[in-house]
Amino acid sequence: MRTHASLLLALAALQTGCVEPAPPVRSAPIAADPAPLEPARIAAPAPAPAEPPRALPRWVWVLPVDHGIRADRGGAGGFLAPRAHGKHNGIDLLAPLGTPVRAPCAGKARAGQNSSHGKWVQLVCALPSELGLEPARRVSLFFAHLKDVAGLGEAMAEVAAGAELGSVGKTGNASSAIIAAHLHLEAIVHDDEPSALAEHHSGRDQSDTRGAREVGGALSSRCLGPAGLASKAESLWRARRADPFVLLVCLGAEKPAYTRPSGKLAEASYPWSSEYSATGFDVDAGNPAGK
Ligand SMILES: [Zn+2]
């Protein structure tokens, strides 16, 4: 995703202030009759020291393999796909049972279990400062139907970007034989950390947040527009819920290239290009230009 990386690089360069070193200041020669100062010899104010370059915001893709979106007799797994209860609030990433699930960002995580989501992990992260948002804004990421969770419990614990959160499973309402193994992933934007930590990812709550509108605006101007990235059928937002694919891609997560899985999973596998289009990069490929 060189397009995004370049955009973010440009942003970072702007924000870290690529200040050119000032020319050496020459002192005026001592003379009995002071000559008028030439404009070029007037000392410019000393520039502020340049900050060291900051690391680019680079999120991590959630799985080590990419088999695209799950769709099978149990339903379609795209963002906002029609469901018996209304619309799908996340994306179902098709993957073999036991595939490790990684934290896209550093943040605070906890785990739990309920009848519909099965074993789940919630991860709350700050958003990259390069987006120019209010610094308090947070995203709550939700990973459901896990087979197991990696040492997480009810209390929030700090996790690093790329840390293993658990593995892909079929728990909760994904346990039916007609539903292929997948990771259900949701992303909800909140105004601050306390409200993000209190997020329950219940489909009954479709309230909006100021933060979600802010992130939507920032992604539109800095990622979706320049990359020509769009959903072919659906909105990329549902009130405070973001399309997780778009959020991760725009934040620089290097997705592995899409491959059709072998065996039973193959018929449930739909590439990203079946749901998204982009003019600036190939939505199915990983990061071919950036390597
Ligand atoms: Zn789902």
- CATH number for position 141: 2.70.70.10
Q: In this model, does residue 21 exceed pLDDT 50?
A: no
Q: Is residue 10 part of a domain?
A: no
Residues 63-80 pLDDT 10s: 999 999 999 999 999 999
- Kindly give the distance from the C-alpha atom of residue 34 to the centroid of ligand 1, in angstroms, as a whole number: 80
- Kindly give the distance from the C-alpha atom of residue 229 to the centroid of ligand 1, in angstroms, as a whole number: 22
More confident residue, 174 or 50: 174
- Kindly give the distance from the C-alpha atom of residue 68 to the centroid of ligand 1, in angstroms, as a whole number: 13
- Kindly give the distance from the C-alpha atom of residue 88 to the centroid of ligand 1, in angstroms, as a whole number: 6
**Which pLDDT value is given to residue 177?**
95
**Which pLDDT value is given to residue 45?**
55
- Kindly give the distance from the C-alpha atom of residue 70 to the centroid of ligand 1, in angstroms, as a whole number: 9
Residue 30: pLDDT band with limits 50, 70, 90:
very low
- Kindly give the distance from the C-alpha atom of residue 243 to the centroid of ligand 1, in angstroms, as a whole number: 12
Residue 3: pLDDT band with limits 50, 70, 90:
very low
Number of domains in the chain: 1
- Kindly give the distance from the C-alpha atom of residue 72 to the centroid of ligand 1, in angstroms, as a whole number: 12
- Kindly give the distance from the C-alpha atom of residue 220 to the centroid of ligand 1, in angstroms, as a whole number: 25
- Kindly give the distance from the C-alpha atom of residue 80 to the centroid of ligand 1, in angstroms, as a whole number: 10
Residues 73-100 pLDDT 10s: 999 999 999 988 899 999 999 999 999 9
For residue 268, give the amino acid letter. Answer: A
Do the beta carbons of residue 41 and residue 34 sit within 8 Å?
A: no
Residue 47: pLDDT band with limits 50, 70, 90:
low
Residues 95-114 pLDDT 10s: 999 999 999 999 999 999 99
4-to-7, 221, 246, 271, 289 alpha-carbon distances in Å: 5, 12, 12, 21, 11
Kindly state the tokens that stand for 201: 């990812």
Q: Is residue 42 part of a domain?
A: no
Q: Which of 94, 78, 77, 80 is nearest to 258 (CA)?
A: 94
Q: Is residue 226 part of a domain?
A: yes
What phi and psi, each to the nearest 5 degrees, are found at residue 222?
Answer: -100, -15
Which residue range(s) make up the domain with 209? 69-277
Calculate ∠ Cα 58-62-67, nearest 5°.
120
Do the beta carbons of residue 165 and residue 148 sit within 8 Å?
A: no
**Which pLDDT value is given to residue 67?**
98
The lowest-confidence range among 12-16, 58-62, 185-189, 281-285 is: 12-16
Q: In this model, does residue 210 exceed pLDDT 90?
A: yes
Q: In this model, does residue 167 exceed pLDDT 70?
A: yes
The lowest-confidence range among 18-22, 223-227, 251-255 is: 18-22
- Kindly give the distance from the C-alpha atom of residue 69 to the centroid of ligand 1, in angstroms, as a whole number: 10
- Kindly give the distance from the C-alpha atom of residue 135 to the centroid of ligand 1, in angstroms, as a whole number: 30
- Say how many C-beta atoms besides its own lie within 10 A of residue 17's C-beta: 11
Instruction: Tell whether the torsion through CA atoms of 182, 200, 157 and 111 is positive or negative.
Output: negative
Q: Is residue 255 part of a domain?
A: yes
**Which pLDDT value is given to residue 162?**
96
- Kindly give the distance from the C-alpha atom of residue 33 to the centroid of ligand 1, in angstroms, as a whole number: 83
- Kindly give the distance from the C-alpha atom of residue 117 to the centroid of ligand 1, in angstroms, as a whole number: 9
User: What is the pLDDT of the chain when averaged over all its residues?
Assistant: 85
What is the arithmetic mean of pLDDT over 11-32? Answer: 38
CB burial class (10 A; 0-12, 13-18, 19+) of residue 178? exposed
**Which pLDDT value is given to residue 84?**
84
What is the arithmetic mean of pLDDT over 16-38? Answer: 41
Residue 287: pLDDT band with limits 50, 70, 90:
low
DSSP 159-196: E-TT-EEEEE---GGG-STTS--EEEEEEEEESSHHHH
Q: Is residue 161 part of a domain?
A: yes
- Kindly give the distance from the C-alpha atom of residue 92 to the centroid of ligand 1, in angstroms, as a whole number: 5
